[in-house]
Amino acid sequence: MTQETKPRALNRLKSMYALRAEVDRMYEGGVEASEEGKPVAWVMLEGWSNAILNAMGVKTVFPENYSSLCAAQGMAEPFMERSEAEGWPSHLCGYARASVGYSARMVDVGGKIPPEAPGGGMPKPTLLVASGETCDARFKWFQSLGRFFDAPVWTLESPSPGIRERLSSETYERNVQFLIKELKAFVAFLENLLGKKMDWDMLEFTGGGTNEINRLRWEINELRKSRPGPMHTRDFWSVMTAALFRGAADPEVIIEGHQKMYDEVTERVEKGIAGINRPEKYRMSFEGLPPWHTLGFLDQLAERGWNFVIESAYRPMRPRTVDLSMYDDPMERYVRRRYRSLEESLQEDYEPDEVEAIKNEIIRDGTSSRLGLKHISDYQVDGVVLHVLLTCRATSAGLNLLQRKILDVLKVPSLVIEGDIIDASAFNAAEALRKAEAFEETMDHYRKVRKELGMPW
């Protein structure tokens, strides 16, 4: 007699596995390059340096992402314990703590990859590229990692103007010139360190490939607006690494993987297949960075019919075509292809009358109540999970304000879950599940409220 087994709550995309495997290949590529005596850089995700490094033949690996990989495999704790033993405080960013502990272990074993390192490990860096973008911990963190290996650290600066200032075309132009200057200085540093010249044609090629990957990711996300949501956020998180943390210049494999994913999601939409194997009771958005150590928590929520159809972090930008014909300088072309003004983003994302209302609000108040909400209404979300990170001010400080905005403007409630990206001990899954169960009543209530107000979902 055959026993009927219930399918797993998540309905993973088949195309996800090939892209996920590319992440392993990225780390393997770093190890191989190191063994062959080729340069390897440890890089922060900041959107500018990676393509330049790859174009110069430098393999890149990413301590932030590697910490996530360790956490997802339950291997981050020993590295974090080691960082605490080195004197790093336990309330510091989990990404930083895990990579500091990893580096200390590398020093223990003579600069080699520690035998317990999951996923093949990160080889000893030739250089490190830090960034002042997003959070302050990033400055000192990479500086310290560099000291473990006596490796040079380059800190890339990128402009972070206020929202009101970002509306100004003068500010935009100044920022473009600032970026060109910064990145040219970075290239000069690399040329000096590596003793070779920048391959500008390769930069153009890899930059174009990045745009194509972004376009496909955008198209896939557009498909996710369907009911039922055809792709769960866990699949999005599994493949975003391959798209954003690329270790080599050639983008073809990643483009091909995303094309296959686009085809599979399209098929699901046509056939009405969901990203979960349970009836889609609640369409959800995940705000903040994921709990990499306990992603299975989302499977338990999927069991209850929670389908995470969209997320706030790592989302692709709307694709665009930029006329670069008037720019000959390859670095200027690189910057202008990627860097967009707030005005342009608003024009792309909102209707003309909305754009004017948002701009007026920004000029008056310094921000707009509508910013950061569009995905909630576009994906017709029933509830939002706000992941407040106890060790990350940058991603957590605004979440309470966002919670109020989402409720006031869209009548969509939020569930606050406290935790950490890497440190499993900061997360109480049982408590979070208790809250989640009760939250369903709140979501049901606001569904009625939205209906009474004539809102579309």
Query: Minimal distance in Å, beta carbon 451 to another protein?
Result: 15
Query: Minimal distance in Å, beta carbon 442 to another protein?
Result: 6
Cis peptide before 115 (omega within 30 of 0): no
- C-alpha span between 397 and 401 (Å, rounded): 8
Judged by CB under 8 A, the residue of 73, 160, 360, 400 near another protein is: 400
Q: Looking at beta carbons only, is 61 or 376 nearer to another protein?
A: 376
Phi-psi category of residue 130: left, alpha or beta, with phi > 0 → left and psi -120 to 50 → alpha: beta
Q: Looking at beta carbons only, is 166 or 405 nearer to another protein?
A: 405
Query: Minimal distance in Å, beta carbon 428 to another protein?
Result: 5
Whose CA is closest to 208, among 56, 43, 60, 330?
330
Residue 91 touches another protein, criterion: CB under 8 A: no
Which residues from 415-454 bind another protein, rule CB under 8 A? 416, 418, 428, 431-432, 434-435, 437-439, 441-442, 445
- C-alpha span between 422 and 292 (Å, rounded): 6
Cis peptide before 114 (omega within 30 of 0): no
Looking up tokens 């790859």, which residue turns up?
54
Q: Looking at beta carbons only, is 141 or 439 nearer to another protein?
A: 439
Q: How many CB atoms lie within 10 A of CB 109?
A: 12
- Please name the residue ranges forming H helices in 321-428: 330-338, 342-349, 352-365, 374-378, 393-396, 399-410
Per-residue binding string, another protein, 351-390, x by CB under 8 A, is ----------------------------------------
Judged by CB under 8 A, the residue of 94, 154, 413, 423 near another protein is: 413
Two tokens at 263?
Answer: 């085809």
Cβ atoms of 143 and 153 within 8 Å: the answer is: yes
Per DSSP bridges, beta strands 153-156 and 127-131 are parallel
Q: Looking at beta carbons only, is 168 or 442 nearer to another protein?
A: 442
Q: Looking at beta carbons only, is 48 or 439 nearer to another protein?
A: 439
Query: Minimal distance in Å, beta carbon 385 to another protein?
Result: 14
Could you tell me how many residues of this chain bind another protein (CB under 8 A)? Answer: 15
Q: Looking at beta carbons only, is 188 or 409 nearer to another protein?
A: 409
- Interface residues toward another protein, by CB under 8 A: 400, 413, 416, 418, 428, 431-432, 434-435, 437-439, 441-442, 445
